[in-house]
Structure 1
């Protein structure tokens, strides 16, 4: 795991939509993450961590 992944995971914990935006760009994943963050911070954080882990 390189330093950019570690930073992405930290951003996923603090501000999940930004981590998804950095990993995937503007798209359906970002919309899903924003909705999950509106419903609660924890689901949004889990989704962001999943997206970061699946990105290259």
Structure 2
């Protein structure tokens, strides 16, 4: 669970450098690449995308603690599994193919 201070630091970083804020919550992946492209197109699209990802991430952290995260309720436009689960991981589980 991230502390409120951590969330504030990530938001402040995102205000100045949106791709860095996305990297801190999503890591290196499709969401980061999309945010870099949107930031290059204009600073506002990069900010909107980054703040949307952060909203989903922190909202999902609360839902994960309550047990409300399922594979069926994925956030649209979010490709990072870390953001989809709010940073909550199930270590030791193996996904079943075709189930």
- List, as ranges, runs of 4+ consecutive aligned residues in structure 1 with deviation greater than 6 Å: none
TM-score normalised over the length of structure 1: 0.91
Q: CA deviation at 1:52?
A: 1.2
Across the aligned residues of Structure 1 and Structure 2, the Cα RMSD in angstroms comes to 1.2
Higher RCO, Cα 8 Å, sep 6+: 1
Superposition map of 1:7-46 within 5 A: 7-46=9-48
Query: Larger C-alpha radius of gyration, 1 or 2?
Result: 2
Offset from partner CA, 1:1-56 (integer Å, 9 cap, x none): 70111111111110000000000000000000000001000110111111111113
Q: What TM-score do the two structures reach when normalised by structure 2?
A: 0.53
Return 5+ residue gaps in structure 2 as ranges.
58-85, 87-99
